[in-house]
Amino acid sequence: MRIGILSYPMLFQREGGLQVQVRETVAALNHLDASMSAELVDPARQKLSDFDVIHVFSAFNGNFRVVESAVELGLPVVLSPLVSPTWNRNAGFRARVADRLAGRICSYNLQTSYAQTKRALQLADLVIALGEAEREAIINGFLTDRAKIRVFPNGISRQFFTAKGELFRHRTGIVGPFVLAVGAVSSYKNQLGLARALEGSELPLVMIGPVAREEHDYLQSILKSPWARWLGALDHEDPLLASAYAAASVVALPSQGEIFPLSVLEALAAGTPVVMTQDSALQLEGSETMLRKVAWNDQAGQRDAIVGLASRPPERTSVQSMVEQFTWQRVASQVAACYRELVPAKAA
């Protein structure tokens, strides 16, 4: 079985959770079964019709056209949409009203991103959500049939489970307690709010992640704090990244919204507790002592949660046990079962 993997054209021009998800899924699928071959499709050089199944990652950035093309060719389509859990019935209703108004104003020569996402979800044969919150958002916000949605959380690369903090401390000279924020530096990720929340706590903030040109001023605003430090971007496979997670007292992700953030899973795999935004699809039963969720704009709540975890850290092995089931091999076996389910159905 030949599986074609696609997303939007500029996907790999930056680094983030989706890029890791795509690469790790492809690699795990190709190690799973000799009869199965997964590869990233180059639409300029390859035809969709050369593949048995098309798997599209992200329902945004024009990817609905990929889904449409595959469906027109009679190919089964799996869609990993990455829908924000903030979508609910009210948000979906407002978006549909706005879409109709925009259509009337422009003589229906304009499609909103909501309409494009909704079409991709409706056309796909199977939809893979990363958690229950995303599944409910797909159903309630985009009126998608519940029966065709599967829930498969992301995996975690093994190097994070075995990481030690010594490498990071030796390379950076940071020896005391600190809070780590991993991800693109931007107002959406809210590192400035985090820096302000940590003022006076004696917990310095260390940031790892890329900075877009338009966010340089934002970065400089953060670095005005003598307690904030930016180490630049690191490759996902760089041992220094895994070591940073292990060395940190707390990992913080106070962004305005997340779907199923890999940085949180990786931090827990390294044995480090996390404080993150409450607007997320990530749900881990029994994780209250090591994973705290706080509103992205609640600086006092963030500070209290971070200081509390840093002063009374949970046992590292118990933190790791919360996520030991999240492997890319498990993800690959679940996704492969979807492919096998679809191919006979289409052939019939």
Residue spans of the domains in the chain: they are 2-155+327-347, 158-321
| Average of per-residue pLDDT values in the chain | 94
Taking only the tens place, the pLDDT of each residue in 138-159 is 999 999 999 999 999 999 999 9
> What was the pLDDT predicted at 1?
93
pLDDT reading at 255 higher than 90: yes
Contacts 24+ apart (CB under 8 A), 44-52: 46/4, 48/4, 48/73, 48/75, 49/73, 49/75, 50/2, 50/4, 51/2, 51/3, 51/4, 51/75, 52/1, 52/2, 52/3, 52/76, 52/339, 52/343
pLDDT for position 138:
97
Residue range 75-92: average pLDDT?
A: 95
3-state secondary structure the chain: CEEEEECCCCHHHCCCHHHHHHHHHHHHHHHHCCCCEEEECCCCCCCHHHCCEEEEECCCCCCHHHHHHHHHCCCCEEEECCCCCCCCHHHHHHHHHHHHHHHHHCCCCCCCHHHHHHHHHHHCCEEEECCHHHHHHHHHHHCCCHHHEEECCCCCCHHHCCCCCHHHHHHHCCCCCCEEEECCCCCCCCHHHHHHHCCCCCCCEEEECCCCHHHHHHHHHHHCCCCEEECCCCCCCCHHHHHHHHHCCEEEECCCCCCCCHHHHHHHHCCCCEEEECCCCCCCCCCCCCEEEECCCCHHHHHHHHHHHHHCCCCHHHHHHCCCCCCHHHHHHHHHHHHHHHHHHHHC
Contact between 180 and 230 under an 8 Å Cβ cutoff? The reply is: no
Question: Nearest Cα to 162, choosing from 270, 235, 76?
Answer: 270
pLDDT tens-digit map of 109-145: 778 999 999 999 999 999 999 989 899 999 999 999 9
Q: Tell me the mean pLDDT in the region 280-301.
A: 93
The answer to whether the predicted template modeling score (pTM) of the entire model surpasses 0.75 is yes
Residue 253 pLDDT exceeds 60: yes
Q: Are 320 and 271 in contact (CB under 8 A)?
A: yes
Neighbours of 238 (CB within 10 A): 13
- Contact partners, residue 190, CB within 8 Å, separation at least 6: 254, 255, 256, 296, 297
pLDDT at 348: 42
**Within this chain, domains 2-155+327-347 and 158-321 share the same CATH topology:** yes
Under CATH, what is the fold of the domain 2-155+327-347?
Rossmann fold (3.40.50)
134 CB burial (10 A radius; 0-12, 13-18, 19+):
buried
Q: For the segment 185-217, what is each residue's pLDDT rounded down to a tens digit?
A: 999 999 999 999 999 999 999 999 999 999 999
Select 158-321's CATH number: 3.90.1310.10, 3.30.9.10, 3.40.50.2000, 3.40.50.12780.
3.40.50.2000
